[in-house]
Chain A
């Protein structure tokens, strides 16, 4: 198989995820977009590993680590999102402005 196919798919998927991170307002939807980005990187790593026929399987092992990392981050991320929802009633990232520096009144 030509390496271009997985590589291009991965690049496009990464950019779709990037759009989601920048455009989405609901924090959980942003998390979904980040998952797409990480999955794209995983595809890249696996394709390169198979192409290189790496003896240590570095790419595939790193993909496994990446999947575990994504699961860990989703776990803690959702806990934080739920905490924000409990305290503030909203999970829209552009509505959370309490910590912005207030301009002096003078």
Chain B
């Protein structure tokens, strides 16, 4: 592992990494603080896209493109659909933040302080060698199918379960479904809650 240039003379890659990192962090902070729900999804796009750039800088090209394809291509699209189908308001929403914000801020700042100190202390003299790329598609595919086959196949069961689960939960209730006995919403509770049994 070759030593780097030291703190005072960062290499070109480090400069680009830091700049992109600032963009990622800024977008992430905006994502979790903005009151406009759709803007939050779009800031998430910026944050995750910035991360893909970081992966390219780290020479992990396959992961970078998978990140773009799946995180930006499907995860964010699904989130936007979710916002649309739950009738998220355009413009600032009062529903965005709960009352826990001060506590959450304290916890997050404490965690950030701890983690950053921990990490900076541990990696004070650790340099990544970026001269030879270590993450091209060929070698990744090689190790994926020669070493990591079992978790790969288990993941396929996971994806199928997510697919089937999402479909079965999204189906409209059939009009002739029998009234289920024993749900807390339908038997004599003092519960709150509006319409039961299909809600359409």
Interface residues of A (CB under 8 A from B): 1-20, 22-26, 28-29, 31-33, 35-36, 39, 42-43, 46-47, 49-51, 53, 55-58, 60-61, 63-65, 67-76, 78-83, 85-89, 91-94, 97-99, 102
B162's partner among A2, A11, A76, A94 (CB-CB below 8 A) is A76
The answer for the CA separation of A58 and B191 in the assembled complex, in Å, is 50
The distance from the CB of A25 to the nearest CB of chain B, in whole angstroms, is 4
Number of A-B contacts (CB under 8 A): 291
Taking CB atoms, residues of chain B closer than 8 Å to A47 are 58, 128
The distance from the CB of A38 to the nearest CB of chain B, in whole angstroms, is 9
Q: Are A3 and B128 in contact (CB under 8 A)?
A: yes
- Identify the closest chain A residue to B81 (Cβ): A78
The answer for the CA separation of A98 and B103 in the assembled complex, in Å, is 24
A1's partner among B14, B97, B107, B122 (CB-CB below 8 A) is B14
Taking CB atoms, residues of chain A closer than 8 Å to B93 are 26
The distance from the CB of B169 to the nearest CB of chain A, in whole angstroms, is 4
**22 sample A-B contacts, Cβ–Cβ < 8 Å, listed by A number:** A1-B13, A2-B4, A2-B123, A3-B123, A6-B17, A7-B120, A11-B116, A17-B28, A20-B31, A22-B107, A26-B96, A28-B79, A28-B83, A29-B32, A57-B143, A61-B148, A65-B152, A68-B70, A70-B70, A70-B75, A72-B161, A86-B199
Q: Are B28 and A16 in contact (CB under 8 A)?
A: yes
